[in-house]
Structure 1
């Protein structure tokens, strides 16, 4: 792990760790804030789940993913979980912010920018391959390498076959010439023997 990643992951994860711990500690307030979203999520689930339990689950997932990300354990997976919770936080805070005063509107805008910045950071972290090629890149290049190797083997086999055919043709030609010479020699001997018999 590079020094930048070693420092940046705990810095980025700390905000999510604190937020997740706060959500777990104040599950009632979290459930109230997340109520519209959690109600829809609870309705979509096949079993009946309390909003407070879902609020705790969101807080626990944010806390756990933040800790894993800060420690550099499963960083892409934990960053993906943090991106989901960050998007949820951004939506909820934007929706529930007090905009009746200019200070409230300014606070809402600042909160939105902070949440979007965090979301951008964890989205970048979710695709960071830590200097190693991604699985998609490796798969693509493995297929390309296999195709190249296949072409090389085919070209080598074609060259080898061509040489073998050429050698076989030369041998056949050599054998044919030898046979032709043998036939001529036999014909001469036969003609010589016939002329001896006739004379």
Structure 2
């Protein structure tokens, strides 16, 4: 892991870890704040789950994914989870912000920019391969390399076949000449 990744991952994850811990600690407030979104999610699930439980699940996801990302464990997966929770936080904070005063509107805009920046950071992190090719790239290049090797093997087999044909013709000519000499 490069020094930049070693430093950047915990820095980026710290905001999510603290927010996730806060959501877990204050599950009632989180459920109230996330209520419109959680109500829809709870209604979409096949089993009945309380909004408070879903709020805890969001907080635990944010906390767990943040810790995993900070430690560099499953960084792409954890960054994807953080991007999802970041989008949720952005929506909820934008929707519930106080806009009755110019200061409130400025705070709402600042919070939006902060959340969008964090979301952009974790989106980049979710596609970062840390200098190693992704599985899709590896599979694509493996298929191309296999096709190339197969073409080479077919070309070699074709050359061997031509040599064998020439050898058989030559042997047949020699046999005909020998037979002609014997019969003559």
Deviation at 1:176, TM superposition (A): 0.9
User: Could you list the runs of 5+ residues in structure 1 that have no partner in the other structure?
Assistant: 185-199
Indicate the RMSD between aligned Cα atoms, in angstroms.
0.8
Q: Compute the TM-score of the two structures, normalised by the length of structure 2.
A: 0.98
User: Could you list the runs of 5+ residues in structure 2 that have no partner in the other structure?
Assistant: none
Q: Which structure is larger by alpha-carbon Rg, 1 or 2? A: 1
1:68-88: CA deviation from partner (whole Å, max 9, x where unpaired): 110111111111110110000
Distance, in Å, in 2 between the alignment partners of 1:32 and 1:101 is 23
Q: Which residue pairs with 1:50 in the alignment?
A: 50
Q: Which residue pairs with 1:170 in the alignment?
A: 170
Q: Which residue pairs with 2:86 in the alignment?
A: 86
Q: Which residue pairs with 1:36 in the alignment?
A: 36
Report SS of the residue matched to 1:46. Answer: coil
Report SS of the residue matched to 1:47. Answer: coil
Q: Which residue pairs with 1:148 in the alignment?
A: 148
Q: Which residue pairs with 1:74 in the alignment?
A: 74
- Paired residues in the alignment total 184
Q: Which residue pairs with 1:59 in the alignment?
A: 59
Report SS of the residue matched to 2:132. Answer: coil
Q: Which residue pairs with 2:11 in the alignment?
A: 11
Deviation at 1:46, TM superposition (A): 1.1
Distance, in Å, in 2 between the alignment partners of 1:13 and 1:62 is 9
1:2-35: CA deviation from partner (whole Å, max 9, x where unpaired): 1111000000000000100111111111111100
Is 1:123 paired with 2:116? no
Q: Which residue pairs with 1:137 in the alignment?
A: 137
Report SS of the residue matched to 2:133. Answer: coil
Deviation >3 Å, runs of 4+:
none
Distance, in Å, in 2 between the alignment partners of 1:64 and 1:27 is 16
